[in-house]
Amino acid sequence: MSDATGLLASFDYLDDAVDSIKDLRKAGFSDDLTAYAAYPDHHIEHALGYGQSPVRVFTLVGGLTGTATGFAFPSFASMDWPLITGGKPILSIPAYVIPAFELTILFGVLSTVIGLFVLSRLPNPTPTVVYDPEFSAGRYGVYVRSGARSDEARTILEKYQPAELREGSDA
């Protein structure tokens, strides 16, 4: 929807928030919903119909890059200055397992974090556009970008007696 205005409801009770999300999705607002909670609540995730998070792709790619780097870099460095130490071969693959192991984890973690930031759109420089400080304390929030259909959305949200209902804009 091009219109970036909508309604922000705060609920005291979890089931009110979850049921309003379900009703809003039935009414065709699936792509215009944002839910807020102070902790990761799987009822809300379930009501919104989430699938698998693509963060895992970032983790896998990062980890494999790390493994490859961890073997390639010590191999290159050893061959670049071929000095025999301790009577071991120049390419001592078993010894490189350790840098490879550590870099697998390091690159995997860094790439997971990048994935998290990209996917959840952090850092978010204007966090207060559609937000209420109560959401980090205990209330549950549901924002619906209703645009022209705001009356319809308001009826659904009011059915569940929100503690607060106000208009907002995420433009």
Partner 1 sequence: MATLTESQRRGAQTHPDLTEHSEVNRDVLAILSRPGKGWWALLTLALLGVGVMLGSWGWQIYRGIGVSGLTSPVGWGAYITTFVFWVGIAHSGTLISAILFLFRAPWRQSVYRAAEAMTVFGVMTAGLFPLIHVGRVWHAYWLIPYPNQRFLWPNFRSPLVWDVFAVTTYFTVSAIFFYLGTIPDVAAARDQSTGIRKKLYSVVAMGWRGTDREWHHFGKAYIFLAALATPLVLSVHSVVSWDFAMGIVPGWHATIFAPYFVAGAIFSGVAMVITLAVPLRKVFGLEAYLTTKHFDALAKLILLTGNIVFYAYLTEFFMAWYSGEPPERQMFWNRLFGHYWWATWIMLTCNGFVPIMLWFKRVRYSIPALFAISIFINIGMWFERYVIIVTSLSHEYEPFAWGVYRPSLPEMGIVLGSFAWFGFWFLLFTRLLPPVAIAELKEVLPPKVRRMKSDSAEA
Q: Which residues bind partner 1 (CB under 8 A)?
A: 12-16, 33-41, 43-45, 48, 50, 53, 55-56, 59, 63, 73-74, 77-78, 80-81, 83, 85-86, 88, 92, 95-96, 98-99, 101-103, 105-106, 108-110, 112-113, 115-116, 119-127, 131, 133-138
Nearer to partner 1, 3 or 134 (CB): 134
Nearer to partner 1, 1 or 72 (CB): 72
The nearest distance, CB 163 to partner 1, in angstroms, is 11
Nearer to partner 1, 114 or 148 (CB): 114
Q: Which long-range contacts (CB under 8 A, 24 or more apart) does 63-66 make?
A: 63/104, 63/105, 63/107, 63/108, 63/111, 64/104, 65/107, 65/111, 66/100, 66/103, 66/104, 66/105, 66/106, 66/107, 66/108
Q: How many CA atoms lie within 13 A of 125 on its CB side?
A: 0
